[in-house]
Structure formats: structure tokens, C-alpha cells
Amino acid sequence: MTPAIGIHDLAVATSRHMLTHAVLADRLGTDPAKYQRGLGQDAMSIPGDDEDVVTMAAAAAAPIVERHGASRIRNVFFATETGVDESKCAGLYLHSLIGLPSQARVVEFKQACYGGTAALQLACAAVARDPSRQALVIAADIARYDLDSAAEPTQGAGAVAMLVSADPAVAVIDPVSGLFSSDIMDFWRPTYRSTAVVDGRYSVSAYLDAIEHAFDDFRRLGGADLREFERFCYHQPFTKMAFKAHRHLLEHAGLPVTDEAVDAALADTTDYNRAIGNSYTASVYMALASVLDSTSDLTGRRIALASYGSGCVAEFLSLTAVDGYREQLRSEANRAAIGNRNPLSYSEYRSLHTDRTTAHDGSRASTGDSGGMYRLSGFEEHKRIYHARQPAFSAKVGH
């Protein structure tokens, strides 16, 4: 019989800088309540010139490797829509930075904000095939939109690293999940652009529609009733979206839609994303980390995870928090990663928003030092040069 498979450990990282929505609202002459109440955002993470998805991923994954060792990791699945190279996967840059094993399959996954869920599911499948092995899944992204666009207040950046194993110490991922895919143009980023193109209002309705269909598929395959879930972690391009989505699902299921019911279902799931902003494929796992790190004891409780990636693919999953999960958490470190960011002035933010592709000759040094454990120090002959402030952990025997 296949053992229970799921998340054995998870850790969060974000950029070292942030912009508050109060500063943004002031400079754009917008009512701050539009951002804080209308979108449900207080701040957004902004990467420094020496930060990218690799540095954030390394900051999230390194403590996991330090705790468990890397010797049982057979697969490294890196999900991002902010890849650093059109050919080489971002996960390979992590290899030397955090000491991953040579006998590993390292691959990148992309499907907008859904990629992390594809990586997680394929990691579960790989562990089912050989339960003595583990998989490292990383979801990391930088959400960037054009300055002065409607989407500008929904930027952000972050990474979530998860160790997937048999008999997991944090949460079991139930085998039944619901899927929905459709070829639409609600949000995309052509390879020649550094900011996304988005039809914002359409993306909101496409998201609701896709989650509804994924949930229907989940139910058709024998998945639990909405009432059997204690919490709902939604993809949060802005946290208000989770509230819209839950109201929509309750209505669709013919259940009473009250503020109390929605607030209870989403309690503690939006705290991290309110402060980080959109982290694309990491966002739904930020919601999961946020609720697991909260004071609520969810032992033995079902948690729904609703993943959406524009374009579009959606998946509705069910997780169960296992006995003793709270002892595994990294709540203090996760909160510190968010709480210790450097607040930017509006002009500092604008200068970091510039297109950060390398110079034509392929060489330049990064501007400034954000102070993170891992840095992109620059480019030499088109090669990205990373530095770690601490040496990679030597591979320990995992447990």
C-alpha cells in the first residue's frame, strides 16, 4: 500500500525590501483604503538589484536542507514564471549555493501562478514511486507590472520551499484533487517583456470560473464537501481575491454566504500575502504557511488549497495537518523574513523597477547590497554570479 505522502517541512522567504501601500497611495493620489480594504494589501515585497528568484529560493530552501540533509532528495522541482534563463533551469543555480546532491533530477516548471502545484503533485508521484526518497519543491516568483497601471499595487515577491516525503511531519496531501484547464488570455508575459500583460477584470472572473470547475471535478472524483474543510487557502494575487473566491464557491455549492462563514474559512490565511503582495506561484503556499504558523491548532483538520494560474489551469486540493505538525514549523523565521524588510521610499522603488536585464556585453556588477544570505553579485560574460554568505551545508543523513 502507498504510504501517506505530503509536506514534511516548509519555509518562506521574500525580498529584503518592500514598499508600503500607504506610500504608493500617497504618491499616486489614491485613497489608501482602496488598496488596504479594496484589494486587501498593506505592502509589497520589492527585490533589490542583487535579488532574484534564485536568491529567494535559496533563502527558503537552505534551512530545510540544514535540518534534514540532502542525501534523500532525488528530485528538485523549481516552479517559477520569473525564470532567469530561457534554457538552464533556476534550480541548478541552487545546486552549489545550498549543497544539493548530484544524483538528483533538477527541472523547472512553468504555468503562471499554478506551476508550484504541478511541481508539488509531481513530487508526490515521484515519492509514491520510491517512498525512501524525498523531493524538494520550490515556488518562487517576482510579480512586476507596468508603473502607473491598475495592476501596479498588486506586485510582490516571495518563495516557498517544501520538502515532500512519505509519512510527512506537516501535512498529508490527499490523493484526490480536482482539475480545470482552458486556453484563455487573461494574463501573460511574452518573452520580450519584463512586466506582465493583464486584462485585470477578466482575470478575476476567469479565476472564479476555473476554481468552480476544479472544485466540481474534485467533488465528482469523491472529494470532501466544502463543509468538511476547516480552512481554505486560495491563490492570492491580492488578498481580497480569496474572499471573492470563497463567496463564489459557497454560493455555487448552495451554502449560506455570510461574512462570518467567509471570515472563519479564511482566518489567518491572508496575513503573509497582505504584507508580501503577489508572489505568483508561491502565493497559495504563502497562504498555507500563514495559516499553519498561526495560533489555530489544525491538527487532524482538513485544509483546502485552491490553486489558479492564468492562461489557465486550476486545481483544488485537500490537505490534512498531521499530529505534531506545529513542532516542525518555522513560524518565527518566516515572520522575521517578512518583518525585517527594508521599507523603500517611492523614488527608491521606482529605480528598482527599471528593466534589470544585463548590459549588452553581458557583464555588470549588481547595484547595492540588500544584505540577504544569498546574492546575485552580477553578470560576467552572460553568466549569473551568485554568492552565499554562508557555506553550503554538507549532506547529512536525512530523517
Give the residue numbers annotated as catalytic, written as ranges. 81, 113, 235
Question: Should residue 276 be labelled a site residue for ligand COA when binding is judged by CB under 6 A?
Answer: no
Question: Should residue 33 be labelled a site residue for ligand COA when binding is judged by CB under 6 A?
Answer: yes
Query: Do 353 and 24 meet the contact criterion of CB atoms below 8 Å apart?
Result: no
Q: Name the burial class of residue 37, with classes exposed (0-12), middle (13-18) and buried (19+) by CB atoms within 10 angstroms of its CB.
A: exposed
Residue 173 C-beta: closest distance to ligand COA, Å? 23
- The amino acid at 114: Y
Q: DSSP labels for 312-344?
A: TEEEEEEEEEPTTGGGG--HHHHHHHHHTPEEP
Binding region for ligand COA (CB under 6 A) out of 33-41, 53-61, 72-80, 381-389: 33-41
- The three three-digit cell numbers of residue 302, written as one number: 482538513
Query: Do 248 and 102 meet the contact criterion of CB atoms below 8 Å apart?
Result: no
Question: Should residue 245 be labelled a site residue for ligand COA when binding is judged by CB under 6 A?
Answer: no
241, 245, 275, 317: which one binds ligand COA (CB under 6 A):
241
Q: Which residues of 97-116 are buried (b: 16+ CB within 10 A; e: fewer)?
A: bbbbbeebebebbbbbbbbb
Question: Should residue 151 be labelled a site residue for ligand COA when binding is judged by CB under 6 A?
Answer: yes
Question: Should residue 270 be labelled a site residue for ligand COA when binding is judged by CB under 6 A?
Answer: no
Main-chain dihedrals φ then ψ at residue 253, nearest 5 degrees = -85, 0
Q: Of 51-110, which residues contact ligand COA (CB under 6 A)? A: none
Residue 36 is classified by DSSP as I
Q: Does residue 233 have a cis bond before it (omega within 30 degrees)?
A: no
Give the nearer residue to ligand COA in terms of CB position, either 238 or 379. 238
41, 177, 307, 310: which one binds ligand COA (CB under 6 A):
310
Query: Do 288 and 272 meet the contact criterion of CB atoms below 8 Å apart?
Result: no
Residue 198 C-beta: closest distance to ligand COA, Å? 5
Binding region for ligand COA (CB under 6 A) out of 27-35, 61-69, 80-88, 370-378: 27-35
Give the nearer residue to ligand COA in terms of CB position, either 165 or 310. 310
Residue 44 C-beta: closest distance to ligand COA, Å? 12
Query: Do 245 and 211 meet the contact criterion of CB atoms below 8 Å apart?
Result: yes
Build a one-symbol-per-residue string for 158-197: x at contacts with ligand COA by CB under 6 A, - elsewhere: -----------------------------x----------
Contacts of 353 (CB under 8 A, 6+ apart): 46, 144, 147
Question: Should residue 39 be labelled a site residue for ligand COA when binding is judged by CB under 6 A?
Answer: yes
The residues binding ligand COA (CB under 6 A) are 31, 33-34, 37-39, 150-151, 154, 187, 198, 200-201, 203-204, 207, 237-238, 241, 310
